[in-house]
Amino acid sequence: MAHAASPGESSANPDLSKPIDVKKLRKGWHASPKEEYDYWVPDADIEGSVPLDLKGTFLRNGPGLLEVYGTKLKHPIDGDGMVVALTFIEGRVHLRAKFVATKERLEEQRERKLIYRGQMGTNPNSAVRDTAVLMKNFLTLSWPTLRFRNPSNTNVFYWGGKILTVYETKYPHCLDPHTLETLGEETLNGALTLKAFAAHFRLDMRNKRLVCFGVVPGVGSRKPSLAIYEFDDKWNLMQYQMHHIDGLNYAHDFLLLRDYYVFHMTPFADMTFTAGLKVFAGLSSPGELMKYYSHMPSRFVVIPRHKGAAHQDIKLLNTEPCHIFHFGNAVQKDNDTITFNAVCLGPKFNMTFEREMWLSNASVAPGNMYKFTLDLSKSTCVRSKDPADPANVEYPTVHPYRHGLSTSRYSYLMSSDRTGYKLPYRDVVKHDLKGGTRQVWYSQGCVGEPVFVPRLGWASIDLGDDDDGYVVVQLYIPEKHITEFAVLDAKHVDQGPLARIKLKHHILYGFHGTSTPEVFVGDSHVPKASAKL
C-alpha cells in the first residue's frame, strides 16, 4: 500500500477545538449550479497518491437538489437522487455524477413545478385542499389516492451487469453502468411482488448471491408484508420468502448469516387508521409519523434462511426500546448464537431535519452503537450495558463480501468524536468487533458514509485480512464550499488520507454508497498521468 500524504492541510490531527460555522455547514445541502459532471480529475488536484492497487468504482447516491422550481423541499430525503461514480484505475480518478431520471422527475421538468408529495412532508398542495379532496372521496364512496415521488436516492449498487438505485417504498431504477443514464424502473422480471425494494442488501459471495428484501406496512386489518429475495449473478431468483409478521411495519437494513436473516421490529412505526387519514388529508406524512410508540414492541426477528421457513420457525426476541436503521458486523458463532453491532437511536428519536444539518434529531437522540448477543436455544437477547463505541455514530459499513462470516471483524462509521457536540459528523471511526479497539481519523470538514473497498476485489472473500483495503469517504469543506473524496488505508485509518481528491465544485451530502471492483470507463481511455511539479 501507499503511504499517507505528508502533514499540512490533510494532517491526521487537526485542531479539534476549532468551531465550525453552522451557516456554512448548511450549504452542504445546497445544489451546485452545474449539477451533473463527467471528467477525469487532474493529477494536480489530487493531494498525495492514489494507490495503484486501488481499482474499481465507488458509487454513492443521495439528493441532488433540495428545491423543485422554487418550492423548497421539507427534508433531503424527498430530493431527487443523484448518483456519483468515482472510478479508480492506474492511479487516476474519473468522476461522473448524474440525476436518476425517474418518471416523477421527468414530469416535473416538463411542467416546471412540484407535482408529487414526498414521504417526509413535502407537499405541492395545501392541507385545506387535501382535506377537501379526502371529504369528497368519503361522500362519493371512492378510495383516495396519493401521488408520492420516487426520488430513488437512498442507495446504489452494482450486481450482475446492472446498477440499481433504490428508495425503499418504490421500485428500484436501473442505470447504464457506463453512462449512468436511467434505463427505467426495474421489477427484476416481476420478482418484486411488493413493488418495494429496501435500501440495504447483503452479498453472499460464497454462493454468489445478492440478498435483498422489501417491506410494506400493515394498515388496519391488513398485516405487514416482508419479502426476502436471493438472486444469482444472472438475476435468476434462487430463493424467495414471504412473511406477514405483526408489528414489522418498517425495516431499512438487516443481517445476513449462514443460516438466518435478522431484522429489527421497530417501535417507531405504527400506521393506524387515524394516522392514515392525517396523511391523506395532508396534515402529516409517513416520515413525520416516525416516532416512539410505547405500545409497540422492540424485537429482533430471526428467520431461518432455508427455503420454506414456516411462521412457527421465526423467533421474536425482545430488546430495549430503540430504532435501528443500520447494522454493523455480524458473526454466527454456532447454530444457536449470533453476535452483532447495531446503531441504536433512543426513544426521543424522530426525523426532524435538525438545524438543516442532519436527517434526524441527532443532538437529542444520538446514534450509539451497541453489541448484541442472541442465544436462539434460550430465546434470549442481551445488549451490552454500555455502547460499544463512545461517540455519536451512524452509517456503519463493513467488508462487503464477508458480512456474517467468522472473519467479519471491522466496522467503519461516520462519527462525531469531539468533545462538546454531537453534530456534525466530522470523523471516521474504525471499530473492532472482536477486540473492542478503535482508530479515529479527525477530518478537516464533514464526512459522509465511509465505504470499505477490498484491495483484492472479488477474491478478497478468502484472501487478505478483514481490513486489507481502503476506505473511501466523501468530505465537505464548508469554508471553501467544495467537495473532496478521501482515500484512507483501512489498516491505519488514524494516519489520515493516502490521497485527497479535491474537486473544484460541490456535490450535495450523500446517503449511502457501495463499491465494485468493476471499471466502466474503459482502460483504453485512461489519459497518461502528467508529471507532478
For residue 365, give the DSSP letter: S
| Main-chain dihedrals φ then ψ at residue 110, nearest 5 degrees | -65, -40
Query: 121 is written with which cell numbers?
Result: 412532508
252 assigned to a ligand binding site = yes
Q: Find out whether 431 is annotated in a ligand binding site.
A: no
CA–CA distance, 48 with 5 (Å, rounded to integer)? 5
Element at 438 (helix H, strand E): strand 438-442
Beta strands in 205-336 (DSSP E): 209-216, 225-231, 237-243, 255-256, 260-265, 299-304, 315-318, 323-332
Binding residue per annotation — 323? no
The total of other beta-carbon atoms located within 10 Å of residue 200's CB is 21
Q: Are strands 315-318 and 299-304 parallel, antiparallel or unpaired?
A: antiparallel
What is the DSSP code (8-state) at residue 486?
Answer: E
Q: What is the DSSP string of 198-216?
A: -S--EEETTTTEEEEEEEE
CA–CA gap between residue 308 and residue 240 (Å, rounded): 8
C-alpha cell at 235: 438475476
> Nearest-5° angle of CA 302, CA 308, CA 312?
50
For 312, residues 6+ apart whose C-beta sits below 8 A from its C-beta are none
- Phi-psi region for residue 221, left (φ > 0), alpha (ψ -120 to 50) or beta? alpha
C-alpha torsion sign, points 479, 493, 331, 60: positive
Task: Of 412, 236, 380, 254, give the one whose Cα is nearest residue 316.
Answer: 380
Phi, psi of 288 (to 5 degrees): -70, -20
Please calculate the CA angle 125-127-129 and round it to the nearest 5 degrees. Answer: 65
The residue ranges of DSSP E strands in 24-179, in sequence order, are 37-40, 46-48, 56-63, 67-68, 71-72, 81-89, 92-99, 155-159, 162-166, 173-175
Peptide linkage before 424 cis (omega within 30 of 0):
yes
Burial 345-370 (b: 16+ CB within 10 A, else e): bebebbbbbbeebbbbbbbebbbbbb
**CA dist 353 → 26, 29, 93, 250 (Å):** 11, 11, 33, 20
326 is in an annotated binding site: yes
* Chain centroid to CA 381: 26
Backbone angles phi, psi at 318, to 5 degrees: -70, 145
Q: Name the binding residues for Fe cation.
A: 200, 252, 326, 512
Q: Which residues are annotated as a binding site?
A: 200, 252, 326, 512
